[in-house]
Amino acid sequence: AYGTDEKTDIAMRVMADHIRAISFVIADGQLPSNNKAGYVIRRILRRAVRYAYTFLNLKEPFLNHLVPVLARQFEGVFEELVLQQDFVQKVVLEEEVSFLRTLATGIQRFDNYTKKQADFLMSENAIEPEKAFEDQWVYSILKDQMVISGDFAFELQDTYGFPIDLTELMAREKRWQVDMDEYGKALLKQKERSRAATAIDTGDWILVNPDLEVEFVGYDDFEAETQIIKYRKVTAKGKEQYQIVLSKTPFYAESGGQVGDTGRLEDHSRLFFVEITDTKKENGVIVHYTDTLPEDVEGLFWAVIDEDKRLLSQDNHTATHLLHAALKKVLGAHVNQKGSLVNPDYLRFDFSHFAKISDDDLAKIEHLVNQKVRENIPLKEQRYVPYDQAISSGVTALFGEKYGDLVRIITFDDHYSKELCGGTHVKATGQIGYFKIVSESAVAAGVRRIEAITADKAEAFVLEQNRELNEVRELLKGNKDLKSAVLSLIEENNRLKKDAEKAVLEQSANLKHEIVHHLKTVNGINLIATHVDLPNADAVKSLAFAVKDLVDDLLLVFTTLIDDKPGITVMLSDNLVKDKGLNASNIVRELAKDIQGGGGGQPFYATAGGKNKEGLKTVLEKAEALVH
């Protein structure tokens, strides 16, 4: 009950405060993650979980149960939480489950570390063992030495998911402090390792026409007469490349999930050209990537995009807008875009949702998108709209996305899809041709992913599926009810598998008496070392245990060759383990050297695998030498 213990009171207040903060933010569109704002949410949530675990003995997920209570309290004040209650609760639950998997181990590691350090400090300072470490007199002597290693704090974060502020909090509760300088160095080393793996040498910009300004014309044109404003050389992993900024360009720079355009930069006579392999934005400037620099950088050029790739990307980008709207209509208003990839080959769309989408709902989503494709809805594009005006018109804006003062609105039917977007799109939805979902999966807690294809690729995908179905139908002698026929085959296959497994086990059981004939007694140990020919590891194990039941004081060594791979099995009677100190794991590891392998197991039973089947004979010879 509240008011009976200060520590539990604090824990309750922390949980109430933290669940309120994270619920509001999740309902507003920000999910827990390991990056930026998402990591703040995760840290707050994990702090609350730790308080519940440590001070309220709540070992199972509990915070998520507070979400419905919170939603009821704020009904009429923050309706978004009421609307998305189920989604928020699912996200919190998944985060709790994830952290609780490592929390107990991490706390144990922390407690063991501080206890070990406390014992060491008591010993080093010649303080009698009977003195309690928590004693104020002891603390006054040791307080300056009660420092938790920064390397250990980093290990807790890197391995067990303990944010540094949580480790600091746990340290303060025990009156310890964390060496933050050492922690900072450990964190810096990790960042340096990451940077070294992606080291890039970027040269200075060389100005050619610095007075010219960049103009993007790619919404309206696929080529443009242009000049080079500046360029620079970039070297990465030994490969040289050039980055070029043009005065006028139709090349769309990678943004909003859509990949950058590729194409050519042709000289003004159109006799020579260099390939543009990618287009990106840097500080708002469109940068073109090429492996070769034009000879006359001061000349006039034609910037020409790869039209076919652009058109395919446009199909897929518009399809993501239609898909986003369909997801909201079929699954609910809680669906929000969390990321996307749009390229000429396919589209990938990440969105907030708390569960796997059923086949029926996927079919509804796909049908709705294709319905909008068939309606051939014309594109309504509005450029340079003031941001506040756009938002007040009911447009969909992405949470966390940075928008300028003036934005572009892409609409396909005012009552269906209306989004802020800088990407390229079809002139009418009918140009997409056909939309096909090819997969749906989980990406992170509360985030699902759909991958889909459009136009010719979607048609080819369906044709290939139909071709495979027809082939299966032929194999099943033209059976029209494919599902029943396949289920029947699966049932028959399972029955045959069980029969085969039963036969193998019977075979191994029958072998046990034959195997006993290989027994040799040496120095009080009954040794059986022989090769057995059985189809799988389960049968070998079954035989080993069956022989163990027949023979006392047993050291059993089997060699096997299953699927052309050599193996070793070692079995020991319990008394040889207890009384003679033999260990099956040690024996099998030694024998495995001859088959160029390794293994392990329990003191009485162990197995090993290897690559050198020629060494199996030597294994049996060595096994006999073990008891001599």
Q: What is the pLDDT of residues 317-343, one digit of tens each?
A: 999 999 999 999 999 989 999 999 999
Residue 3, pLDDT > 90, answer no
How many domains, in total, are found in the chain? 4
Q: What is the pLDDT of residues 611-625, one digit of tens each?
A: 999 999 999 999 988
Which tokens sit at 540? 């070998």
Place of tokens 């539990």: 8
Domain range for residue 557? Answer: 504-625
Other CB atoms closer than 10 Å to residue 617's CB: what's the count? 12
Decide: residue 212, CB within 10 A, 0-12 exposed, 13-18 middle, 19+ buried: middle
Q: How many residues would you count in the chain?
A: 628
Nearest Cα to Cα of residue 152 among 189, 113, 190 = 113
Note whether 402 and 426 are same-domain residues.
yes
Note whether 151 and 208 are same-domain residues.
no
CA angle 364, 370, 374 (to 5 degrees): 140
Q: What is the pLDDT of residues 472-485, one digit of tens each?
A: 888 887 677 888 88
At residue 604, the pLDDT reads 94
Determine, yes or no, domain membership for 253: yes
CA distances from 287 to 205, 227, 239, 246, 277 (A): 12, 13, 18, 8, 11
Q: Above pLDDT 70, what percent of the chain? A: 97
Q: What is the pLDDT of residues 532-548, one digit of tens each?
A: 998 888 889 989 999 99
Note whether 178 and 211 are same-domain residues.
no
Note whether 43 and 137 are same-domain residues.
yes
Tell me which of 83-92, 115-124, 388-397, 458-467 is least confident: 115-124
The residue out of 143, 159, 194 marking a domain boundary is 194
Residue 361, pLDDT > 90, answer yes
Other CB atoms closer than 10 Å to residue 468's CB: what's the count? 10
At residue 399, the pLDDT reads 60
d(CA 352, CA 327): 10
Residue 506, pLDDT > 80, answer no
User: How far separated are the first and last CA of the chain, in Å rounded?
Assistant: 70
At residue 216, the pLDDT reads 97
CA distances from 565 to 538, 556, 610 (A): 15, 20, 7
**DSSP per residue, 174-207:** TT-EE-HHHHHHHHHHHHHHHHHHT-EEEPPPEE
Note whether 427 and 318 are same-domain residues.
yes
Is residue 195 very low, low, confident or very high in pLDDT (cuts 50, 70, 90)? low
Which residues lie closer than 8 Å to 27 by C-beta, 6 or more apart?
78, 80, 81, 83, 84, 87, 88
CA distances from 17 to 87, 175, 575 (A): 20, 24, 60
CATH, residue 410 = 3.30.980.10
**DSSP per residue, 210-246:** TT---EE-TTT-SEEEEEEEEEEEEEETTEEEEEEEE
Which residues lie closer than 8 Å to 617 by C-beta, 6 or more apart?
none
Note whether 220 and 187 are same-domain residues.
no
DSSP H/E element including 121: helix 85-124
At residue 518, the pLDDT reads 87
Note whether 514 and 450 are same-domain residues.
no
At residue 9, the pLDDT reads 92
Q: What is the pLDDT of residues 599-609, one digit of tens each?
A: 888 999 999 99
Determine, yes or no, domain membership for 369: yes
Q: Above pLDDT 90, what percent of the chain? A: 63
- Contact between 260 and 344 under an 8 Å Cβ cutoff? The reply is no
Burial 551-583, CB ≥16 within 10 A → b, else e: bebbbbbbbbeeeeebbbbbbbbeebbeeeebb
CATH, residue 617 = 3.10.310.40
CA angle 418, 424, 426 (to 5 degrees): 75
At residue 121, the pLDDT reads 83
- Contact between 563 and 588 under an 8 Å Cβ cutoff? The reply is no
Which tokens sit at 120? 């060491």
The residue out of 305, 333, 358 marking a domain boundary is 305
CATH, residue 222 = 2.40.30.130
Note whether 165 and 246 are same-domain residues.
no
At residue 196, the pLDDT reads 64
Helix (H, G, I), strand (E, B) or coil at 379: coil
Residue 197, pLDDT > 60, answer no
Residue 128, pLDDT > 80, answer no
The residue out of 287, 305, 323 marking a domain boundary is 305
